Chain A
Amino acid sequence: MCTSITHQAKIYGRGKQGEQWIELKEANVSYDHPYGMPLEHALNIDFVDESKGPGARVAVELSVDAARQLIKTIEAVLAQAEHQGVLEDKHQAAVG
């Protein structure tokens, strides 16, 4: 059954849809029925641009273990980049 466990983060990013990169403005994170994973429930991340309609979506569906591992990995990469003084903020990235 649909759990309705869902959160949204406003993001600044791009995602690849086929051969095309699209702007992504929101990340919808849910623990609910996946579409592609052979699981009853999964950690789903829909990177979307809501202003462009339902089709502006790059989807990822992860097992619980995979999701936890991903969080640790992202944190580790960001910590290392911060330690090395190479983190860029959004505006630097935009002009760079």
Chain B
Amino acid sequence: MYQTNQYEGMIAETVTMQGHKGETINAYMARPLGAGPFPGMVLIHHAPGWDEWYRECTRRFAHHGYVTISPNLYFRDGHGTAEDVGAKVRAAGGIPDEQVIGDLEGANKLLRSLAYLNGKVGVFGTCSGGRHGFLTACRTKSVDALVECWGGGVVMKAEELTPKKPVAPIDYTKDLSCPMIGIFGNDDKSPSPEQVNQHEAELKKQGKNIEFHRYDGAGHGFFYYDRPAYRQEQAVDGWKKVLAFCEKNLK
């Protein structure tokens, strides 16, 4: 917890990194000043895009002591405002799961190459980013803690699978390689409370180290203070739980 007589500083900037197949993409990175060692955090932006909320969230994690990187997962889809690029990706039905996992692995490798990292890297994602975080924590062995916030599309029907999303993430549950916290709103439609129950039941069946938190009076995206979905009380409590989980598993 920050003390009022404590020195604090951070550096935050846009960087380039190697993503899926070694391709260059850009990312936003923020870290506390000092020699460290600091834990790492990869932020996975939501479907609407690599927007201001995610840049602020990157600095928020840095404020809490994490070397944090938020890769621009829509880099290959052109440049413009985050909203215009996000709309283009929305029209294309999203981006391929394999490409996202490759980009997130690249971000993870970049963090692990830094002299001031403490050797641990978590991932945090909301909305589609929550789904991507779960996929990555199942498909790779490089994640030390997973924060999944209202990840929709973890549970998928066969007819919802596409070439970009060929496997329902829930089918990879047995491969989850790290502790996980899940944050969900009970008024959400995707994931619905039933899907959240299914997700949790499968994790428990596989004996995974998890904690799920469900909030009444909250729907999809209730951390987003720039959206009507924001729910102050639930968001404050959710953030406390997320940061406590990260502290326990990454510091």
Q: Which A residues are within 8 Å of any B CB, using their own CB?
A: 1-4, 6, 8, 28, 30, 32-33, 35, 38-41, 44, 46, 48, 50, 53-55, 57, 59
Contact = CB atoms under 8 A, between A and B. Distances in A.
Interface of B: 46-48, 77-81, 83-88, 90-94, 127-128, 131, 150-153, 160, 162, 165, 188-191, 219-221, 227-229
A33 B46 CA distance: 10
A50 B88 CA distance: 9
Contact of B90 (A32, A38, A39): A32
A54 B228 CA distance: 26
A32 B127 CA distance: 12
B199 to A, nearest CB: 12
A35 B86 contact: yes
7 contacts: A2-B46, A4-B94, A35-B83, A40-B229, A44-B87, A48-B88, A54-B81
Given A2-B153, A4-B160, A6-B93, 12 more contacts: A1-B153, A4-B93, A4-B94, A6-B90, A32-B90, A33-B48, A33-B90, A35-B87, A38-B228, A40-B229, A55-B81, A57-B84
